[in-house]
Amino acid sequence: SSEVLEAIENVIQGVVQSLGQKKAPVLTVANRTDWRNIEFKDSVGLQMIPGCTSKQIRSDCPQSARRFALTLKILSMIYKMVQSNTYATKRDIYYSDTQLFGSQSAVDQIINDISCMLKIPRRSLHVLATTKGFVAGNLSFTEEDGTKVNCTCSATVFTVPSNVQGIKNLTSHAKFILIVEKDATFQRLLDDDFFNKVSPCIMITGRGVPDLNTRLLVRKLWDSFQIPIFTLMDADPHGVEIMCVYKYGSVSMSFEAHHLTVPSVKWLGLLPSDLERLNICKDALIPFTKQDENKLASIQKRPYIACQPLWKRELEIMAASKLKAEIQVLTSLSSDYLSKVYLPNKLQFGGWL
């Protein structure tokens, strides 16, 4: 906490010095969303390069004066929270003055900019993200406040903790971790008691694009147990994008790649090649939209696809067919095909990439 306070004091000192010299104060923030500032490392994923380009948030410029003021406001809130050892969610910060902040997304962006500017992980700033992810299966742990969570003894779903860094005493006999893209598929596997019937496993869903806490938990489980991690996604560009976020990280959070990415993640399904192999009826598939075509073309150009020839081949199959499929398409074969046939066979015979 002393490191965080010192980092904030240094920023404010710079502002005060500028004012003392009758200059307009300026905050300098790295360009987090520029691909030119990102490098790909096989062992880490997408990470920010050391000498990356930056942008200035000026206090004397009409376009950025408001953002400058909001950044200082949130810095002061973080400073008080770190001093008093209290926490707030990004939502709490927005609702403390909705008129001032204008929107939740403005608060989210500024907090990520502050984290990047101070070079301090967001959870160390005492700002917690609202969690939307779920976890179930062969896992028990103790939350920071001492609450014991045991996912093993029932088919109950537990929300991913809002302070993943604080959880301890993780125990599991799981043989693998299964990341499921969608809540509906996750619930279906729970109803079928999948995590007990095949072999003990941990199941996680970020319910679409994963939030920070879900990604942190996947990373923490990998660090703790070093067991295989598989992904079960829709066979569409959006599903591939989500899988890449877990494995290689995202451009906007590349400054935190070391804490968030798990490069050992494997693509278990639904593979584009599975659709042909399983003779899925063409009528059950969905034609690409223009947006799908653009998303897939953008993924194919990314640096990490070059070092994944098998993934590259699957994306080529998808691009050639211009058809996509949701995991639910497997119910066209039989209602419990996913949990009774597809996943057990894939896991037994190594059908992952």
pLDDT digits (tens, 9 = 90+) for 152-203: 866 678 888 888 888 889 999 989 999 999 988 998 888 888 877 778 899 9
**In this structure, is the dihedral angle defined by the CA atoms of residues 291, 292, 297 and 303, taken in order, positive or negative?**
positive
Asked whether residue 256 carries a pLDDT value surpassing 90, the answer given is no
Report the phi/psi class of residue 308: left, alpha or beta, with left for phi > 0 and alpha for psi in -120 to 50. Answer: beta
Topology given in CATH for the domain delimited by 2-128: Arc Repressor Mutant, subunit A (1.10.10)
> Whole-angstrom Cα distance, residue 112 to residue 260?
14
Phi, psi dihedrals of residue 181, rounded to the nearest 5°: -60, -50
Kindly state the tokens that stand for 93: 């910060």
**In the chain, what are the domain boundaries?**
2-128, 134-349
Q: Which CATH architecture has domain 134-349?
A: 3-Layer(aba) Sandwich (3.40)
Active-site residues, by number, are 95
* Contact predicate 19/25, CB 8 Å: yes
Taking alpha carbons only, the member of 178, 135, 132 closest to residue 154 is 135
Asked whether residue 91 carries a pLDDT value surpassing 90, the answer given is no
> Whole-angstrom Cα distance, residue 226 to residue 194?
21
Q: Residues 6 or more apart from 48 whose CB is under 8 A from it?
A: 30, 32, 37, 38, 39, 116, 254, 255, 257
Asked whether residue 232 carries a pLDDT value surpassing 70, the answer given is yes
* Contact predicate 148/140, CB 8 Å: yes
> Whole-angstrom Cα distance, residue 128 to residue 310?
37
* Contact predicate 4/77, CB 8 Å: no
**In this structure, is the dihedral angle defined by the CA atoms of residues 123, 91, 139 and 233, taken in order, positive or negative?**
negative
> Whole-angstrom Cα distance, residue 24 to residue 22?
7
* Contact predicate 277/269, CB 8 Å: no
Token pair 């009774």 is at which residue?
340
Alpha-carbon torsion angle 135, 139, 140, 144, nearest 10: -50
Residues 15-54: pLDDT tens digits?
899 989 988 888 888 777 777 777 778 778 887 777 777 7
Q: Residues 6 or more apart from 294 whose CB is under 8 A from it?
A: none
* Contact predicate 315/304, CB 8 Å: no
* Contact predicate 229/176, CB 8 Å: yes
Mean pLDDT of 326-331: 89
pTM of the model: 0.81
Give the burial string for 177-202 (b: 16+ CB within 10 Å, else e).
bbbbbbbebbbbbbebebbeebebbb
| Per-chain mean pLDDT for the chain | 87
Mean pLDDT of 141-157: 81
Lowest mean pLDDT among 20-29, 252-261, 335-344: 252-261
- Encoded amino acid at 340, one letter: K
Q: Output the pLDDT for position 155.
A: 67
